[in-house]
Amino acid sequence: MNDNQIHVIPLRDFPIVQTGDDISGLIESAIRKKSIDLIQGDIIVVTHAIVSIAEGKLYHLEELKVSKRAEEIAEKIGHSPERVEVALREASEVLREKPVLITKTKHGIITDFSGVDESNAPQDTLLALPENPDASAKRISDSLSNSLGFDIPVIITDTQGRPWRKGAVNLAIGVAGMSPFIHNIGREDLYGHKLRGSLVCLADQIAGSAELVMGQADEGIPVVIVRGVDFNKEDGTASQIIRSKSDDLFS
């Protein structure tokens, strides 16, 4: 990290996103409006909600036909049948039905309700995760990088709970323009001991820091610039973060 300081810069007064909007164009416009100069090494962090809305990953409640299975699960856990129905549609596998519906999404993410939520969704809709968050991050990253003349990594985030700890945190579900990891194997600690295995998920750390200014309610800050973080410029993805079934320590 440059001079051991990290700056988390919110893009305030970001416009309300509509389906079909160009997220990278909106980011550029917001940056110009705030007279912010992006510099090489800056990372753009984007909440998945605006990406999902722009890409049309919305389910309109009035058009939703709820299945019998969704109704049964919803009754058991006390949640809306519509949210359960969308969660089932977005899932590749249902891991647990109660006390909370836990699924594996088609992206391979294990989370509650397949990441489907009504928070920050347009009226009478449910919001799902982007179809391919890594591809969405790459499109935004490529567009911004081409416009500015230097590489701008992009991280797309979602707020999720953790199985062994209380409270939700912001995690990276889409990454482009950087490696999601820091590899510390071979480095020495303060006492000269060589590290044999230290893999740090930098993308999740950056996502978590961005949420400190993004918030989760009506803050209206879906995009944040994180400055001062050293990262590996290798073009990685968030899908690399997900453990394969053979590496799952708890199955």
- For every residue of 42-105, DSSP letters joined together read -EEEEEHHHHHHHHT-EEEGGGPPPPHHHHHHHHHHT--HHHHHHHHHHEEEEEE-SSS-EEEE
Q: How many CA atoms lie within 13 A of 217 on its CB side?
A: 0
CA dist., res. 64 & res. 56, Å (int): 15
Predicted confidence at residue 1, as pLDDT, reads 45
Using an 8 Å Cβ cutoff, are 128 and 59 in contact? Answer: yes
Predicted confidence at residue 199, as pLDDT, reads 86
Fold of 1-57+130-243: 60s Ribosomal Protein L30; Chain: A; (3.30.1330)
Does the fold of domain 58-128 match that of domain 1-57+130-243?
A: no
Structural domain boundaries of the chain? 1-57+130-243, 58-128
68 token code pair: 């019998």
208 token code pair: 């978590």
Three-state SS across the chain?
A: CHHHCCEEEECCCCCCCCCCCCHHHHHHHHHHHCCCCCCCCCEEEEEHHHHHHHHCCEEEHHHCCCCHHHHHHHHHHCCCHHHHHHHHHHEEEEEECCCCCEEEECCCCEEEHHHCECCCCCCCEEECCCCCHHHHHHHHHHHHHHHHCCCCCEEEEEEEEECCEEEEEEEEEEEECCCCEEECCCCECCCCCECCCCEEEHHHHHHHHHHHHHCCCCCCCCEEEEECCCCCCCCCCHHHCCCCHHHCCCC
The reply to whether CATH 3.90.1660.10 applies to domain 58-128 is: yes
* pLDDT tens per residue across all 251 residues of the chain: 456 799 999 999 999 999 999 999 999 999 999 999 999 999 999 999 999 999 999 999 999 999 999 999 999 999 999 999 999 999 999 999 999 999 999 999 999 999 999 888 999 999 999 999 999 999 999 999 999 999 999 999 999 988 889 999 999 999 999 999 998 665 666 666 666 667 899 999 999 999 999 976 667 899 999 999 999 998 899 999 998 877 766 65
